[in-house]
């Protein structure tokens, strides 16, 4: 996905759990790519979404979804999720800040839940599966 003068790519070359790299659009030489998010030994990159403010990177670790936010000119940082689970959908708009995730999981052994969360700070809409 392009942003500014760079092209952002997810690759599994020398990274079985994938890593996020970028190259200049003017000279997209993969041999000289900048590693934006290195491979993690315990989490796999499964999805990336571009918004106006940042890249949102979904990873999977031990069967649980994790989300990171990487500002265009900054370092990636974790985004707190309301509970452990899986992200069914990660949606962003390159013309707007934030991303929306559809998360499903279990908050306790007897209560399953689903939520739609907006990373821009708007409150999530919750729905119960019970």
Is the pLDDT at 63 greater than 80? The verdict is yes
**What does the block give as tokens for 45?**
């990159």
pTM for the whole structure: 0.81
DSSP state of 75: -
E-strand spans in the chain? Answer: 2-3, 6-11, 19-24, 34-37, 44-50, 54-61, 64-71, 77-79, 85-92, 99-106, 112-118, 125-128
Give residue 15's pLDDT.
93
Is the pLDDT at 82 greater than 90? The verdict is no
Average pLDDT for the chain: 86
Contacting residues for 109 by C-beta, under 8 A, at least 6 apart = none
Superfamily of domain 2-128: Prolyl oligopeptidase, N-terminal domain (2.130.10.120)
């Amino acid at each position: 996905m392009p942003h500014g003068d760079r092209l952002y790519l997810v690759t599994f070359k020398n990274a079985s759990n994938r890593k996020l790299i970028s190259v200049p659009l003017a000279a997209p030489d993969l041999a000289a790519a900048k590693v934006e998010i290195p491979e993690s030994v315990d989490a796999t990159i499964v999805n990336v979404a571009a918004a106006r403010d940042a890249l949102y990177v979904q990873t999977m670790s031990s069967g649980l979804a994790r989300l990171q936010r990487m500002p265009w000119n900054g370092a990636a940082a974790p985004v707190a999720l309301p509970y452990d689970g899986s992200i069914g959908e990660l949606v962003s708009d390159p013309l707007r800040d934030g991303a929306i995730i559809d998360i499903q999981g279990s908050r306790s052994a007897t209560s399953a839940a689903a939520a739609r969360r907006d990373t821009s700070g708007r409150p999530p809409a919750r729905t119960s599966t019970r």
